[in-house]
Amino acid sequence: MSRPAVRVSGLGHVYPDGHRALDGVDLEVAEGERVAILGPNGAGKTTLMLSLNGVLTPTTGTVTIGATTLSRKTVREIRRRVGLVFQDPDDQLFMPTVAQDVAFGPANFGVSGAELTRRVAEALAAVSMTEHAERSPAHLSLGQRRRAALATVLACHPDILVLDEPSANLDPQARRELAETLSPLAATMLVVTHDLPYAAQLCTRAVVLDDGRVVADGAMADVLGDTGLLAAHRLELPWGFTVGR
Amino acid sequence: MSAGHPRPLHRDGDSPVHRAPAEVKIVCLVLVVLAVVATPRNMFWPYAIYAVLILAVWRCADIRLRWAAPRMLIEVPFVVLAVLLPFSAGGERITVAGAQLSVSGLWAAWGIVVKGTLGVAASLTVAATTSARELPVALSRLAVPALVTSMLVLMIRYLDVLGAEARRMRMARLSRGDSPRLLHQADALARGIGVLFLRSYERGERVYLAMLSRGFDGRVPELAIGTARARAVDWSLALLPAAFALTVSASAWVLR
């Protein structure tokens, strides 16, 4: 069996105020796999996401990306390989123009000159935002800002893409456009959400996290079809939805 | 949301002043303002020359007086202070239209008004011809500490976000019957400002995490997609107004 793209073992995280957000999480994700991390508010989804590229340091356990285990020495390499797209694009887009923001990541990782320009153009094209390159993020719609935030991460050429609530507050058309942008991407993908239909649209496997632990892990249809499991962890499909197997 | 609104102080254009690298314009502005401030205040002719100089640059940058005048109202509070000075200052007095005015107060008021106006006009020239995206690169080229540059960049970006948040909170207060004009409801306003501060603080943390996860290590990298670096010819051309202003200031000291 080939090496998993992401291997998390015994991961625990305790915040300075004593709150235990993650309590022994074990997770393996194969290369190219698309996994939804489901769970109610406060389940530890965002903490897990921030631990995957070393923005938060695990209190216990290890995070391994490919062959590299997260440590003080490898954190830079891990951050290049694991791209996080935050829920609120206004947290991610901080430069005066979209193009400058997209260039920020690769420039931090040492890309410059013509290669940087090429990466920016490529990432903007991948999210259909080329014509908005020179605009300020303040002048874009939420859907456009979320795609721009995705471009800022794609420009770093990550192996693993982690998206936090990608569909939050998007209108139906923007939701569809984002899904169409994400579908052709080759990267291994982790989608943190409690929007179950969107998770089913994007991913093939579902991991349910509650109270800092993995409580279910299986094929999307199996997890979403188990109404008892969903109900026990404050998850439910919207009214009128059923899971096609 | 402020969608679609251009920055109120920026004026799009393609004049030689617009094309000049931002770092050159910033240095030029600082020198001109220094020259104006250093000029003795009890004279008239140097200020007339400065005004002509600024108007000439405006003409070159296609900045109309009608566009600039309302934006210069920012100095009004200082003008009010200046108007009070001739009445309040002591020393020798003269009678103007029946009012006893202090001579030193009049000169002080003149100094404040003329230096303030010229300073605001010069700053407006740079603001009108420099877009926000050129600023971070220009400042880092001028060896401004990265901390200051990133603070400025973040301020430019998040002022809009913060403004939109404040407007939404105000709407929510008003729609629940709040009337900010009433004194007893000032409490709600004060709490609103406190909440806004907390939210901005939390946003600051999230922005920092997002920057960290894209490899940020404390310094803003030079983004090659900005404007070209200033050449010697840019510096010599664009510093002409500054050199001229400094000469005027020096001559004023010699001739006074």
Residue B146 has pLDDT above 90, yes or no: no
Note the pLDDT tens digit of each residue in B59-104.
Answer: 888 888 888 888 888 888 878 888 887 777 777 777 777 777 777 7
A127 is in which domain, residue-wise? 6-232
- Using an 8 Å CB-CB cutoff, list chain A residues near B217: 76, 108
Placement of tokens 């400002």 in the chain: B193
**Residues B248, B50: contact at Cβ < 8 Å?**
yes
d(CA B162, nearest CA chain A) in Å:
11
Q: Is A237 part of any domain? A: no
Note the pLDDT tens digit of each residue in B167-217.
Answer: 888 888 777 777 767 676 677 778 888 888 888 888 888 888 998 899 888
Q: Report the range of poorest mean pLDDT among A74-78, B7-11, B12-16.
A: B7-11
Residue A48 pLDDT: 94
Length of chain B: 256
**Residues A65, A81: contact at Cβ < 8 Å?**
yes
Q: Where are the beta strands (DSSP E) in chain B?
A: 93-96, 99-102
Strand bridging mode A213-219 / A205-210: antiparallel
Q: Is A207 part of any domain? A: yes
Tokens for A196?
Answer: 């179950």
Tokens for B97?
Answer: 């239209």
CB atoms within 10 A of CB B154: 17
Note the pLDDT tens digit of each residue in A36-73.
Answer: 999 998 899 999 999 998 989 999 999 999 999 999 99
- Establish if A118 touches chain B: CB-CB under 8 angstroms: no
Q: Which residue of A has its CA nearest to B200?
A: A91
For chain B, the maximum distance between any two Cα atoms, rounded to a whole number of angstroms, is 70
A98-108 helix and A142-154 helix, angle to the nearest 10 degrees: 20
Strand bridging mode B93-96 / B99-102: antiparallel
Give the CATH number for residue A53.
3.40.50.300
What is the domain count for chain A? Answer: 1
ipTM above 0.85, yes or no: no
Q: Is A169 part of any domain? A: yes
- Establish if A30 touches chain B: CB-CB under 8 angstroms: no
d(CA B182, nearest CA chain A) in Å:
33
Q: Say what the pTM is.
A: 0.78
Q: Is A243 part of any domain? A: no
DSSP B3-43: TTPPPTT-----SHHHHS-HHHHHHHHHHHHHHHHHS-SS-
SS3 A182: helix
Measure the CA–CA gap between B68 and B80, rounded to whole angstroms.
Answer: 20
Strand bridging mode A6-14 / A60-65: antiparallel
Note the pLDDT tens digit of each residue in A139-179.
Answer: 899 999 999 999 999 999 999 999 999 999 889 999 999 99
Tokens for A199?
Answer: 């998770």
Q: Cβ of B214 and A117 within 8 Å?
A: no
Which A residues, 184 through 203, put their C-beta within 8 Å of a C-beta on chain B? none
Of A86, A100, A138, the CB nearest to B206: A86
Residue B2 has pLDDT above 50, yes or no: no
Note the pLDDT tens digit of each residue in A143-154.
Answer: 999 999 999 999
- Establish if A107 touches chain B: CB-CB under 8 angstroms: yes
- Using an 8 Å CB-CB cutoff, list chain A residues near B136: 95-96, 100
Q: Which residue of B has its CA nearest to A140?
A: B3
- Establish if B206 touches chain A: CB-CB under 8 angstroms: yes
- Establish if A231 touches chain B: CB-CB under 8 angstroms: no
Q: Is A136 part of any domain? A: yes
- Establish if A103 touches chain B: CB-CB under 8 angstroms: yes
